[in-house]
Homo-oligomer: A and B are copies of this chain.
Amino acid sequence: MKLTLNRTEFMQELQTVQRAISTKTTIPILTGVKLSLSEKGLTMTGSNADISIETFLSVENEKAQMQIEKTGAIVLQARFFSEIVRRLPESTLTLEVLDNNQVAITSGKANFTVNGLDADSYPHLPVVESQDSIEIPAHVLNKVVSETVFAVSQHESRPILTGVHFVLENQKLLAVATDSHRLSQRVIPLESGETAFNIVIPGKSLTELSRSLTDEEEAIQISIMDNQVLFQTKTMKFYSRLLEGTYPDTNRLIPSSFNTEIEFSVPELLQAIERASLLSHEGRNNIVRLAISEEAVVLYGNSPEIGKVEEDLSFEKVTGDPLEISFNPDYMKAALRAFGDTSIVIRFISAIRPFTLEPTESKGSFIQLITPVRTN
Contact = CB atoms under 8 A, between A and B. Distances in A.
Given A89-B271, A274-B87, A275-B88, A111 B311 contact: yes
Main secondary structure of the interface of A (DSSP, over half): mixed
Contact of A314 (B109, B310, B312, B314): B109
- Give the number of times this chain occurs in the complex, counting copies: 2
Contact of A113 (B88, B271, B307, B312): B307
Given A89-B271, A110-B272, A271-B89, A83 B308 contact: no
Nearest to A307: B114
Nearest to A301: B112
A311 B83 contact: no
A283 to B, nearest CB: 13
Given A115-B306, A115-B307, A306-B115, A109 B271 contact: no
A362 to B, nearest CB: 27
Contacts of A109: 311-314
A305 interface: yes
A253 interface: no
B311 A110 contact: yes
Taking residues whose C-beta sits less than 8 angstroms from the other chain, chain A's interface range is 20 to 34
B112 A307 contact: yes
A84 B278 contact: yes
Interface string A102-129: 1000000111111100000000000000
Contacts of A115: 305-307
Interface in A51-77: 77
A102 B112 CA distance: 65
A309 B102 contact: no
A197 interface: no
A80 interface: yes
Interface of A: 77, 80, 83-84, 87-89, 102, 109-115, 271-272, 274-275, 278-279, 282, 305-314
14 contacts: A80-B278, A83-B278, A84-B275, A84-B278, A84-B309, A89-B275, A102-B307, A109-B311, A109-B314, A110-B311, A111-B309, A112-B275, A113-B308, A115-B305
Given A77-B306, A112-B279, 20 more contacts: A80-B278, A80-B282, A80-B306, A83-B278, A87-B275, A88-B275, A109-B313, A110-B275, A110-B311, A111-B309, A111-B310, A112-B275, A112-B307, A112-B309, A113-B308, A114-B306, A114-B307, A115-B305, A115-B306, A115-B307
